[in-house]
């Protein structure tokens, strides 16, 4: 069976996108987009879960409780870094006369309504193009990025499954593809013993 091709941001692309938004734009749209992407890159939230957040869902929280697909509830731990980003974003919202009461939408549009999924896709298209990245990325690419980052960092598919809230581990297996660099690393683990015709595996 042919492996599904998954679009995601490499570490360099992720940094380039966020740096461009931060350095070249200081308006409300840029601030909202920058924080939204940081939050999604830190939690692996689906787009619908992200735009559905209220201020009370993230304020003073160490764990994000999300009701995802099929009304399934899951907990996502928040790192100290993203908790600080949340604090700064809520402070910025307050200074810009945006509601910060617990039931208020975390992300709002220019019309002061909850931002919609189409709007997020449109904004991402714009930022990706302006940052000089090639191709088209959907907001789900941010979630895929988290999957690949976690797989590289933990090498534990069960941890990735639980973090992303996948019902089936088959879904998580899209993040287990092997790159050419990883294959070369495997080759370096094998040495040919001059006195033996067999390959010897080197264990650390």
Evaluate whether 90 touches 100 at the Cβ level (below 8 Å).
yes
| Residue 194 falls inside a structural domain | no
| Residue 132 falls inside a structural domain | yes
Query: Could you tell me the CATH number of the domain that includes residue 21?
Result: 1.10.443.10
| Residue 127 falls inside a structural domain | yes
To the query of whether residue 83 is one of the catalytic residues in this protein, the response is no
* pLDDT above 50: residue 204: no
| Residue 189 falls inside a structural domain | no
* 151-201 per-position pLDDT tens digit: 989 989 999 999 999 989 999 998 987 656 667 777 777 765 555 555 544
Which domain does 51 fall in, by range? 11-175
To the query of whether residue 99 is one of the catalytic residues in this protein, the response is no
| Residue 204 falls inside a structural domain | no
The residue among 41, 35, 57, 15 whose CA lies nearest residue 123 is 35
Angle at 107 between CA 104 and CA 108, to 5 degrees: 80
| Residue 80 falls inside a structural domain | yes
Neighbours of 107 (CB within 10 A): 23
**Domain total in the chain:** 1
To the query of whether residue 37 is one of the catalytic residues in this protein, the response is no
To the query of whether residue 8 is one of the catalytic residues in this protein, the response is no
Evaluate whether 149 touches 139 at the Cβ level (below 8 Å).
no
Partners of 77 in beta bridges: 63
CA dist 142 and 41 (Å) reads: 6
Of the residues 14, 46, 93, 144, which is catalytic?
Answer: 46
Q: What is the pLDDT of residue 201?
A: 47
* pLDDT above 80: residue 147: yes
Between 29 and 24, name the one with better pLDDT. Answer: 29
In eight-state DSSP terms, residue 70 is G
To the query of whether residue 31 is one of the catalytic residues in this protein, the response is no
DSSP H or E stretch at residue 84 = helix 80-95
DSSP H or E stretch at residue 46 = none
């Amino acid at each position: 069976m042919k492996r599904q091709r998954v679009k995601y941001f490499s570490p360099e692309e992720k940094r380039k996108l966020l740096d461009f938004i931060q350095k070249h734009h200081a308006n409300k749209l840029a601030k909202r987009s920058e924080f939204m992407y940081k939050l999604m890159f830190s939690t692996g939230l689906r787009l619908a879960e992200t735009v559905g957040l209220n201020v009370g869902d993230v304020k003073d929280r160490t764990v994000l409780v999300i009701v995802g697909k099929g009304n399934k509830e899951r907990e996502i731990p928040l790192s100290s870094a993203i908790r600080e980003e949340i604090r700064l974003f809520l402070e910025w919202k307050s200074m810009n006369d945006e509601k910060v009461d617990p039931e208020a939408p975390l992300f709002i549009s220019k019309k002061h309504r909850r931002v919609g999924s189409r709007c997020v896709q449109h904004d991402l298209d714009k930022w990706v193009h302006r940052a000089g990245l090639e191709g088209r990325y959907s907001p789900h690419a941010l979630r895929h990025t988290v999957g690949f980052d976690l797989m590289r960092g933990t090498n534990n598919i069960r941890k990735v499954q639980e973090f992303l809230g996948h019902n089936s581990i088959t879904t998580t297996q899209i993040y287990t593809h092997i790159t050419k660099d990883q294959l070369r690393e495997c080759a370096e683990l094998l040495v040919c013993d001059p006195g033996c015709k067999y390959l010897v595996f080197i264990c650390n």
